[in-house]
Amino acid sequence: MRKSYRILYQGGTGEITEKKSRFIANLKPVETEAEALAFIEETRKRYWDARHNCYAWIIGRGGEEKRLSDDGEPSQTAGKPMMDVLEGEKLVNLCAVVTRYFGGTLLGTGGLVRAYSKAVQEGLKACTTLTVEPAVKLSVTTDYNGIGKIQYLLGQREITTLGIEYTDRVELTVLVPDAALDKLRADITEVTGGRAGLLPTGEVYYGIFNKEVVLFPG
Pair 54, 100: CB distance under 8 Å: yes
96, pLDDT greater than 90: yes
Supply the CATH classification number for the domain 3-125: 3.30.230.30
- What pLDDT score does 197 carry? 94
Strand partners, 189: none
Q: Give the separation between CA 187 and CA 142, rounded to whole angstroms.
A: 14
The pLDDT value recorded for residue 210 is 92
User: What's the confidence (pLDDT) of residue 104?
Assistant: 87
Judged on CB neighbours under 10 Å (0-12, 13-18, 19+), 44 is middle
pLDDT digits (tens, 9 = 90+) for 17-31: 999 999 999 999 999
* pTM of the shown model: 0.89
Question: Which amino acid is residue 92, in one-letter code?
Answer: V
Give dist(CA 215, CA 137) in Å, integer: 11
Q: Which of 103, 22, 95 is nearest to 65 (CA)?
A: 95
Q: Where are the domains of the chain?
A: 3-125, 133-214
Residue (of 186, 180, 190) closest to 160 by Cα position? 180
Evaluate if residue 125 carries a pLDDT over 90.
yes
Q: Say if CB 164 and CB 174 are below 8 A apart.
A: no
Could you tell me if residue 141 is left (phi over 0), alpha (psi between -120 and 50 degrees) or otherwise beta?
Answer: beta
Residues above pLDDT 70, as percent of the chain: 100
**pLDDT tens column, 141-153:** 999 999 999 999 9
Average pLDDT score over residue span 177-201: 95
Q: Which fold has domain 133-214?
A: Alpha-Beta Plaits (3.30.70)
**Do residues 142 and 150 lie in contact, with contact meaning Cβ atoms separated by under 8 Å?**
yes
pLDDT of residue 73: 96
DSSP the chain: ----EEEEEE-EEEEEEETTEEEEEEEEE-SSHHHHHHHHHHHHHHTTT-SEEEEEEEESTT--EEEEE-TTSSTTSSHHHHHHHHHHTTEESEEEEEEEE--SS--HHHHHHHHHHHHHHHHHHTSEEEEEEEEEEEEEEE-TTTHHHHHHHHHHHTPEEEEEEESSSEEEEEEEEGGGHHHHHHHHHHHTTT-SEEEEEEEEEEEEETTEEEEEE-
Residue 167 to residue 141: CA distance in whole angstroms: 11
Q: Give residue-wise pLDDT tens across range 128-139.
A: 999 999 999 999
